Chain A
Amino acid sequence: MTHVELAGLKKSYDGKKNVINQVDLQLQQGEFFVLVGPSGCGKSTILRMIAGLEQISGGDLFVNGKRMNDAPPNKRDLSMVFQNYALYPHLNVEQNITFGLHTKKISREEQKRRCLEAADMLGLSDYLKRKPRELSGGQRQRVALARAIVTQSPLCLMDEPLSNLDAKLRTRMRSEIRQIQRKLGITMIYVTHDQTEAMTMADRMMILHDGESMQIGKPLDIYNHPANTFVATFIGSPAMNVMEADVSPNGIKLSPHCILSNPMKGNLKTANKNVQIGIRPEHILFSAPEQADAVAEIVNTEVLGTETLLTFTLDNTKEQWIARWNGQWQFSVGDRIPVRFDLDTIHLFSKDNGRILWAANDGQPKQAAREVLR
């Protein structure tokens, strides 16, 4: 069932320039949806429009099929978690969690029960009498979360809730939030600038850029089938290599000495055009010299333990590529190494507008987990 629908949503502050342009989106009940994009792309604005904290300049917002453009925030039946948690500094944890519940005509006993339940779920039971300033960042985060949970609203909005936490805690909270969302079956709209958060948490996600929706879909679909160069480089870390190339029926020319065979097999639509080739770092492989497509000159290596990131150039061109290899590889700057490009995974993008022209893979993971288990 559709829970939230945005139809041609627009936002403009001065009446001329749209900061949000024509966003269409349908959210299913119980879905974990992530809005992701670089800072200033308008993701928080969209969230705030859904919450009712920001006027909608154009288009419609429907919640459960009802038009909600002009409803005040408290009539939209939602809860919200803010980036800086927005805890009331003069109230203790318990008062913070139950603050505002009385407006929903909930009895004192019920408030207490819900508060204890939420505190228990988030491990806050021992801190109920403390003030926010006596809590650590992670605990404050949890209080903010508990405040959203006790309202039992079917829709929860989160605006970069983890960005003030350190990396380790962030990873843990990521999984906690996801588990709670699944357990309570609420619809979640989650804003982040962190593509890892988006990839790991989302059922579906929308990538935003300059107020426009770039692509909507499941994380893996987006990873495997980026719709344009922006999405290709934004999702995935390190980013996809996107380089200019000449495509002709004979092959794809990356540099004077590196010409890949044309994988399009008769599909000559893009032939002779200046295009951009996109290939993910993990699809540039170490190769035996006789099978190599090119010789890479190492510019930098980053050994991360389980994997190694190699920055290299081809034929003394300026463009720097990144490859990701499993394991620990020690190279010195200037080493020349034969590499091979996995032609089954390359993407070709238009040089004019960055849109995808052709992709080699069908996007499915090569081996589904279920098949392995069988």
Chain B
Amino acid sequence: MILAKRISLYTVLVVCAAFMMFPIFYAFSISFMEGGEVLGGQLLPSSLSLDNYVEVFQKVPLLTYLVNSFATSAIVMVGQLLVSSLAAFAFVFMKFKGRDFLFFLFISTMMIPWEATMVPNFMTVQNLGWTNSYIGLTVPFFALAFGTFLLRQHFKTIPKELYEASQVAGISRFRFFWNVILPVSRSSLITLGIYSFLTNWNMYLWPLLVTNTESARTVQIGLKQLQTQEIASDWGIVMAGVVIVILPTLLLLFAGQKKLQKGLTQGAIK
């Protein structure tokens, strides 16, 4: 009875996993195929040739795009971590009039879809002359209500006495933030860091708006370019590009997951 239950459960899980994984697997498979094989509807390539990978780097400046994406994602990640953690620190450890109201206002910006603010943001960036630069791609995303909220919730679990003890010891506020709060909140910071890196890596609309030169564009636009250019019929090359683009995402997820689990199981404070 239990065995039957288990078998059926695993069958369902396997089917679901196959269903979810199939597009990725197929893309991976196509990336090794030649044009004819793709059109023939083959599931597996007849030979493992890396020609498509070589070609994709030659046809579009994929390397530049990768570097751009990586740089902007990293900058946004650092910027978001800094701004969010500082804001969250203020919302938890500093007492000032209207603090809770301000936080509410802060959080309420999460209800505004970011596409709604895109036009004013674009005009601001354009007037500042930040188009086609890392600044334009990154700075608008530094302030993140979600990140502030996430870190605030974690900071609130840190005993107030730690702050008071450091006050008695004469530690400055910033030093306390840097030497105590940040190390103690490592797990939340990693979570937020991965989240912001991946979000930015996958961003399409904003880079499309503020960049129009090849030297400034990011990978997601590069992918679209592959599709729209004449090589679109050569699906092997497109899929090779796709695989290269999702690779860092997957790597980061796998690496981060381990760190994340470690951070989460590190144990409570008392």
Mark A residues whose CB is within 8 Å of B. 51-53, 72-74, 78-80, 82-86, 88-90, 99-101, 103-104, 133, 147, 151
Cα A73 to Cα B169 in complex, Å, equals 8
A52 to B164 CA separation, bound complex (whole angstroms):
10
- Counting contact residues on chain B (CB < 8 A from A), the size range is 10 to 19
- Contact residue among B159, B166, B169, B267 (Cβ-Cβ distance under 8 Å from A84): B159
| Closest chain B CB from A85 CB (angstroms) | 8
The 26 sampled A-B contact pairs (Cβ below 8 Å) are: A52-B167, A53-B164, A53-B167, A72-B167, A73-B167, A73-B168, A74-B167, A74-B169, A74-B170, A80-B164, A80-B165, A84-B159, A86-B159, A86-B161, A86-B164, A86-B165, A88-B184, A90-B183, A90-B184, A99-B166, A99-B169, A100-B166, A100-B171, A101-B169, A103-B170, A104-B170
**Chain A residues near B168 (CB-CB < 8 A):** 51-53, 73-74, 78-80
What A residues does B180 contact at CB under 8 A?
Answer: 88, 90
- Give CA–CA (A78, B184) in the complex, Å: 26
Q: Complex Cα distance A100/B270, Å?
A: 21
Check B111 for interface membership: any CB of A closer than 8 A. Answer: no
Instruction: Report the nearest A residue to B180, measured CB to CB.
Output: A88
Q: Which 7 A-B pairs have the closest CB atoms?
A: A100-B169, A74-B170, A86-B161, A103-B170, A86-B165, A90-B183, A82-B161
Known contacts A74-B170, A78-B168; A84/B184 CB under 8 A: no
Is B162 in the interface zone, CB < 8 Å from A? yes
Interfacial residues of chain B within 157-181, with CB under 8 A of chain A in the complex:
159, 161-162, 164-171, 180
Q: Does B21 contact A (CB under 8 A)?
A: no
Quick one: closest A residue to B163, CB to CB?
Answer: A86
Cα separation A28 to B166 with both chains bound (whole Å):
27
Contact among B161, B171, B267 with A133 in the assembled complex (CB-CB below 8 Å): B267
In the complex the two chains form, what is the Cα distance from A74 to B167 in whole Å?
A: 6
B128 contacts the other chain (CB 8 A): no
The smallest beta-carbon distance between A189 and chain B, in angstroms, is: 13
Knowing A82-B164, A86-B164 touch, does A100 contact B184 (C-beta < 8 A)?
A: no
Q: What are the residues of chain A within 8 A of B162 when measuring CB–CB? A: 86, 88
Q: Name A89's closest neighbour in chain B (CB-CB).
A: B269
- Closest Cβ of chain A: how far from B6's Cβ, in Å? 38
CA distance A237 to B251 in the complex (A): 66
- CA gap between A72 and B168 in the complex, in Å: 8
**Looking across the interface, which residue of chain A has its beta carbon closest to that of B158?**
A89
With both chains docked as a complex, state the minimum distance between the C-beta of A84 and any C-beta of chain B, in angstroms: 6
| Interface pair B171/A103, CB less than 8 Å apart | yes
Q: How far is the CA of A197 from the CA of B270 in the complex (A)?
A: 24
How many angstroms from the CA of A80 to the CA of B164 in the assembled complex? Answer: 9
A85 to B270, CA, bound (A): 9
Residues 137-170 of chain B, each 1 if its beta carbon lies under 8 Å from chain A, else 0: 0000000000000000000000101101111111
Known: A72-B167, A99-B169, A101-B169. 7 other contacts (CB 8 A): A51-B164, A53-B168, A82-B164, A83-B161, A84-B161, A99-B171, A133-B267
Cβ-closest chain A residue relative to B269 = A89
A229 to chain B, nearest CB (A): 35
- Kindly state the separation between the CA atoms of A217 and B164 in the bound complex, as whole angstroms: 30
A88 smallest CB distance to B (angstroms): 6
B159 proximity list for chain A (CB < 8 A): 84, 86
Contacts of B270 in A (CB 8 A): 84
Complex contact A100–B170 (CB within 8 A): yes
Nearest CB in chain B: distance from A61 CB, A? 15
CA distance A101 to B180 in the complex (A): 15
A332 to B170, CA, bound (A): 62
Give complex CA distance A84, B180 in Å. 17
> Closest Cβ of chain A: how far from B214's Cβ, in Å?
45
Q: How many angstroms from the CA of A83 to the CA of B164 in the assembled complex?
A: 12
Task: Give the nearest-CB partner of A88 in chain B.
Answer: B180
- Chain B residues contacting A104 (CB-CB under 8 Å) are 170
User: What is the bound-complex CA distance between A233 and B270, given in angstroms?
Assistant: 35
Residue of B nearest to A140 (CB): B270
B268's nearest neighbour on chain A, judged by CB, is A133
Instruction: Please name all residues of chain A whose beta carbon is closer than 8 Å to the beta carbon of B183 when the two chains form the complex.
Output: 90
Report the separation of the CA atoms of residues A107 and B168 in the bound assembly, to the nearest whole angstrom.
Answer: 19
Q: Which residues of B contact A78 (CB under 8 A)?
A: 168
Asked if residues A103 and B169 are in contact (CB atoms below 8 Å), the reply is yes
- The closest CB in chain B to the CB of A48 belongs to B164
* Contact across chains for A151 and B169 when beta carbons are under 8 A apart: yes
Q: Which of B212-270 contact A (CB under 8 A)?
A: 267-270
Instruction: Output the nearest chain B residue to A81 by Cβ-Cβ distance.
Output: B165
Provide the bound-state CA to CA distance between A199 and B160, in Å: 30
* Interchain CA distance A51-B168 in the complex, whole Å: 7
Report the bound CA distance from A104 to B169 in whole Å.
9
Cα separation A101 to B167 with both chains bound (whole Å)? 12
Minimum CB–CB distance from A77 to chain B (whole Å) comes to 10
Q: Which residue of chain B has the shortest Cβ distance to A157 in the bound complex?
A: B168
- Cα separation A103 to B169 with both chains bound (whole Å): 8
Cβ–Cβ < 8 Å partners of B267 in chain A? 89, 133
Docked CA distance A53–B166 (Å)? 11
